[in-house]
Amino acid sequence: MTTDELRVLGAADLVEFLALADADPVVNVFADHRARTTGLDPRWLGGEVWGRFVSGRLVAACHAGANLVPVQCDQESAARFAERAVQVGRRASTIVGPDAAVRQIWRTIDGAWGAAREERWLQPHLEIAGDPLVDPDPGVRNTTREDLAALYPACVAMYTEEVGVSPEATGGAELYRARIQQLIARQWSFARFDDAGEVIFKAEVACVSPYAAQVQGVFVPPHRRGEGLATHGMAAVVEHVRRSIAPVVSLYLNDWNHPARTAYERVGFTESARFATIMF
């Protein structure tokens, strides 16, 4: 008899969960990173990871914390996790992951979480597993604690432009500053500064597994765009990350961001999936 069970995963499920994520390790880098750094302990997750088991085998999962992230979900699994999300109520500020799974989750939730602030569909997911195709900017380097005063305003500007709200809204400045400091300490923050000390390119690594690193927060200030800073800056980031952090570099972006897509393709990134993001 076939059994079909949904339950919260724990430390005893870690090996099986990582094997599931490894079915598409670059796409699943966020969930892989969260599992390895927390051991699937809800106290460290700040939420839960749900698993769907069919005949005792883990076939799909869903990270349910600040982000709701489907892992290896077909349409049926995505719908099942969405039903659970309706039951527990909205805890996440975003739903993000492969486009087809996110669409199914959003259809199943069907208003139970209230209206979304923004829906972003068919976001190209890009990756590079080799040397960049253009010369890296030699001025791009790991940032240090001494750079924080110049770096932090650039991070706030990028976040506000990308997400549509400031990370400092509703008293979030201290938490956001701590996150930037954490990335600096991990040597996951990269930037180039001009002679006056202004950030003219920056990017961060958001999450890492043995297989991949996902880049976020790519930013060039508006008055310096069109100079190739993002293209050669990202080439430098790819070199730094592949040398010291992970063998594959990935990111995803909005489908309407044609200048960024062009810059990444010049570096050598190729599309490997489509993501979607629902923001509340």
| Mean pLDDT in residue range 87-107 | 97
141-273 shares the fold of 4-115? yes
- Half-sphere exposure of residue 133: CA atoms within 13 angstroms, side-chain side: 11
Range 4-115 has CATH code 3.40.630? yes
pLDDT at 51: 98
CA distance 213 to 55: 33
For 121-175, how does the pLDDT look when each residue is reduced to its tens digit (9 = 90+)?
999 999 999 999 999 999 999 999 999 999 999 999 999 999 999 999 878 899 9
Superfamily of domain 141-273: Gcn5-related N-acetyltransferase (GNAT) (3.40.630.30)
The 3-class secondary structure across the chain, one letter per residue, is: CCCEEEEECCHHHHHHHHHHHCCCCCCCHHHHHHHHHHCCCHHHHCCEEEEEEECCEEEEEEEECCEEEEECCCHHHHHHHHHHHHHHCCCCCEEEEEHHHHHHHHHHHCCCCCCCCEEEEEEEEEEECCCCCCCCCCCCEECCHHHHHHHHHHHHHHHHHHHCCCCCHHHCHHHHHHHHHHHHHCCCEEEEECCCCCEEEEEEEEEECCCEEEEEEEECCHHHCCCCHHHHHHHHHHHHHHHHCCCEEEEECCCCCHHHHHHHHHHCCEEEEEEEEEEC
Return d(Cα 193, Cα 139) in angstroms, integer.
8
pLDDT of residue 172: 85
* CA gap 99, 108 in Å, rounded: 14
Q: Please give the mean pLDDT across all residues of the chain.
A: 97
Q: What is the pLDDT of residue 2?
A: 83
Q: How confident is the model at residue 272 (pLDDT cuts 50, 70, 90)?
A: very high
Greatest Cα-to-Cα distance within the chain, rounded to the nearest angstrom: 70
Q: Give pLDDT, residue 225.
A: 96
164: Cβ contacts below 8 Å, ≥ 6 apart: 117, 118, 279
Cα distance between residue 116 and residue 187, in whole Å:
34
Q: State the pLDDT at residue 171.
A: 80
Q: How confident is the model at residue 95 (pLDDT cuts 50, 70, 90)?
A: very high
- Is the pLDDT assigned to residue 1 strictly greater than 80? no
As a whole number of Å, the CA-based R_g of the chain is 19
Domain ranges of the chain: 4-115, 141-273
Per-residue pLDDT tens over the stretch 33-52: 999 999 999 889 999 999 99
Per-residue pLDDT at 175 = 93
Whole-model pTM?
A: 0.95
**Mean of the pLDDT values across residues 171-194?**
96
For residues 198-227, average pLDDT: 98
- The mean pLDDT value for 191-219 works out to 98
**What average pLDDT does the segment 45-74 reach?**
97
Contacts (Cβ under 8 Å, ≥6 apart) of 173: 167
pLDDT tens figures, 217-226: 999 999 999 9
Segment 227-244 mean pLDDT = 98
% of the chain exceeding 70 in pLDDT = 100
